[in-house]
Each structure stands twice: as structure tokens, then as C-alpha cells.
Amino acid sequence: MVKKARGAQRREESLSRDRIIEASIEILDSRGEDGLTFRALAERLATGPGAIYWHIANKSDLLTAACDAIVARTLEACVAGATPQATIRALALGMFDAIDAHPWVGSALTDAPGHLPIVRIFERIGQQVRALGAAEDTHWAVASALLSYVLGVGGQNAANGQLARTRGLDRSDFLETMSTAWSQLDPDEYPFARSVAEQLRDHDDRMDFLAGIDLILKGIDAKR
């Protein structure tokens, strides 16, 4: 019962799956995906690399578990809206912001199909799709489309943010640079990209993301 209160150099709590996951999230957030190594993790936990394997199967397991922790918290924080549509928007936006804050979650989700974190999100979206009252046999396809959209756009946005950070730019500087590059593309080969270079400069990823969600929701509506 009595914990050894002594030994400032030693760990205060014993190793556990949860502590390992917590430490992983901190490393992933501060040093990015490449920063998470078993050696770095072991050092932070004041142990050896081998010890971690007692609690975690391998690196992919570790990443999925860290990802699931973020997803679980995010979904918990999402409260239901007045309508299924509003709830779907809230869920989607919640995930978008979570992936933006933890870019590694984006790739972890795409690399873990069928795993717990994905099923969690799918379930929450699906319950709202059902509440929309669409035909039963379309539930799967509609929920899948929404899930894929959320993960797809969320991931792209996070990748963009990381690219900007890599180049040491903030969001608006980055958009400025990219917009300028696009406006100088070959007019014959890239007329469209050139023509939207302005919109690129001033756009708001978060709002565009929501616009896409609304597009899909409208599509569902139009189908009924």
C-alpha cells in the first residue's frame, strides 16, 4: 500500500500502458511523428526500450492507441446539436480541429482501417445518419462518405499545416507563398489552378471543410 516516497531519480509511478500512451502523445505533439522512437520514449519514462514491449505490442499498436485516446476525448467533448445535421457538423468540426491540433492523428487514422478509433467515429456519425431518416439501405454508404470526407480533408489540412511549419512559415505566409506560386503556373496547362489562386490566398480551411459537409448533407436531402 505504501508507495516508496523516496528516490527522486526513480519513477514515481510504475510503468503502465496508459502512462506510455500519455508520454507518446506528448512526444508526438511536441516533436512530431518522426520524433516518437522507442528510445526517446524510454528516456522520457526513465526506463529501457525493452520495457515498453511488455505493455505495447509494437509501434503500430502504440500509434493506434495514442490516436484512440485523442479520438475518444474529442468525441466525448462533442455535444449533440439541435438537429442531426447540426450534430454531424459538430462531430466533423471536432475531428477536424483535433487532427489540426495533433497532425499525427490524421495519418494514424488512415493507416488503421477497421481499428477502434475509426469505428468510434463511424459509430457516432452513423447514429446521426440514422436520425436523419434516410432509407435504411443507404446508411452504410452515407456514413462511409461522411467519414471518408472528414478523415480525407482533415488529413490534407493537417499535412498542409505541417508543410508550412516545416518551412517555418505561419498559415497566412504559407498561403501567400502558395497562392503566388499557383498564379505563376503555365496558363495552358493549369488554367483552373491559376484562376483560383486568389481564393486560395484568402480561404479558410475550416470554413471550406464545413462547406463540404453541408454539400454532402444537401445531397442527402436532395436524394430523399
Partner DNA sequence: ACCTGAACACCGTTCAAGT
Residues that bind DNA (CB under 7 A): 14-15, 36-40, 46-51, 53-55, 58-60
Smallest separation, CB 69 to DNA (Å): 18
**Under the criterion CB under 8 A, does residue 78 sit at the interface with a second copy?**
no
**Under the criterion CB under 8 A, does residue 96 sit at the interface with a second copy?**
no
Widest Cα–Cα separation across the chain: 76
Smallest separation, CB 16 to DNA (Å): 7
Residues with Cβ within 8 Å of 143's Cβ and at least 6 positions away in sequence, in order, are: 122, 125, 126, 129
Q: Under a CB-based contact definition with an 8 Å cutoff, are residues 99 and 155 in contact?
A: yes
Q: How far is CA 162 from CA 104, 138, 174, 182, 216, in A?
A: 10, 36, 11, 19, 27
Residue 4 or 224: the one with the smaller Cβ distance to DNA is 4
3-state secondary structure at position 102: coil
**Under the criterion CB under 8 A, does residue 188 sit at the interface with a second copy?**
no
**Under the criterion CB under 8 A, does residue 113 sit at the interface with a second copy?**
yes
Return phi, psi of residue 114, to 5°: 75, -5
Smallest separation, CB 125 to DNA (Å): 31
Residue 48, binding choice from a second copy, DNA, none, Cβ under 5 to 8 Å by partner class: DNA
Residue 94 or 154: the one with the smaller Cβ distance to a second copy is 154
**Under the criterion CB under 8 A, does residue 192 sit at the interface with a second copy?**
yes
Q: Under a CB-based contact definition with an 8 Å cutoff, are residues 28 and 104 in contact?
A: yes
Smallest separation, CB 102 to DNA (Å): 18
Binding mask 138-167 for a second copy (x = CB under 8 A): xxxxxxxx-xxxxxxx-xx--xx--x----
Smallest separation, CB 13 to a second copy (Å): 29
User: Which is nearest to 213 in space by CA: 126, 142, 146?
Assistant: 146
| Alpha-carbon Rg for the chain in angstroms | 21
Q: How far is CA 97 from CA 70, 168, 206, in A?
A: 11, 21, 8
**Binding-site ranges for a second copy (CB under 8 A):** 106-107, 110-111, 113-114, 119, 122-123, 126-127, 129-130, 137-145, 147-153, 155-156, 159-160, 163, 178, 182, 185, 189-193, 195-196, 199-200, 203, 208, 211-212, 214-223
